[in-house]
């Protein structure tokens, strides 16, 4: 038995060094060659950092495109889902309220046209992207509030649409912060 305890302690020590020291150093080293040098890819406007490319932000004004709801209040330190299932009454009320808000501010769309990502939070609660359909249903509202031509706003959505990863993994999406910054630039 003593033999197995010593082997277990040795294995634990080796794994601690490997997984708690060597692996994090390798990841940090590789991260230095990524966008943002491992500190996250920032989005800047006029030389000032206004957000992160992989972190959602809250937009509630009708003249902006709205992002995906956040279960974490858009707080990266408290990232996580709500853990409420589809049979939870509180969760169903939240989704129903979000649908009602979308229909109120976008009266030309039908309830059936609302994509799920516009009324449900992502697993992290920080998704910075919405589906192309989520952006499309907001074009009329944004164009009307900004007194812009719908075609202009639609073209802006198209310019800010990113295709699937490597052209085949996942759906096309739109980064809401980048789209709203481009929208602000139209006014200038």
Q: Where are the domains of the chain?
A: 57-187
Reply yes or no on whether the pLDDT at 185 is more than 70.
yes
pLDDT at 47: 76
Contacts of 145 (CB under 8 A, 6+ apart): 62, 63
113-150 tens-digit pLDDT: 999 989 888 877 778 889 999 999 999 999 999 999 99
Reply yes or no on whether the pLDDT at 22 is more than 70.
yes
Q: Which of 32-36, 153-157, 182-186 has the lowest mean pLDDT?
A: 32-36
Contacts of 157 (CB under 8 A, 6+ apart): 132, 135, 136, 139, 174, 179
Reply yes or no on whether the pLDDT at 158 is more than 70.
yes
Extended strands (E) in 14-158: 42-45, 48-52, 129-131
Reply yes or no on whether the pLDDT at 63 is more than 80.
yes
Q: In 3-state terms, what secondary structure has residue 27?
A: helix
Using alpha carbons only, give the angle 101, 107, 108 rounded to the nearest 5 degrees.
Answer: 135
pLDDT at 53: 66
pLDDT at 32: 82
Using alpha carbons only, give the angle 177, 38, 26 rounded to the nearest 5 degrees.
Answer: 150
């Amino acid at each position: 038995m003593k033999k197995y305890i010593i082997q277990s302690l040795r294995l634990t020590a080796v794994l601690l060094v490997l997984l708690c020291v060597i692996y994090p150093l390798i990841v940090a080293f590789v991260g230095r060659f990524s966008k943002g040098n491992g500190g996250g890819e920032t989005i800047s406007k006029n030389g000032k950092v206004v957000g992160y490319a992989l972190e959602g932000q809250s937009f509630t004004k009708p003249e902006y495109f709205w992002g995906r709801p956040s279960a974490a209040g858009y707080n990266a330190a408290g990232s996580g889902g709500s853990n409420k299932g589809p049979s939870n009454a509180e969760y169903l009320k939240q989704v129903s309220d979000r649908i009602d808000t979308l229909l109120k501010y976008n009266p030309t769309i039908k309830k059936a046209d609302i994509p799920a990502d516009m009324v449900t939070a992502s697993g992290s609660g920080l998704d910075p992207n919405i589906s192309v359909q989520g952006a499309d249903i907001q074009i009329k509202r944004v164009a009307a509030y900004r007194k812009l031509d719908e075609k202009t706003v639609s073209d802006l959505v198209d310019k800010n649409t990113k295709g699937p990863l490597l052209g085949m993994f996942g759906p096309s999406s739109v980064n809401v912060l980048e789209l709203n910054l481009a929208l602000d630039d139209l006014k200038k």
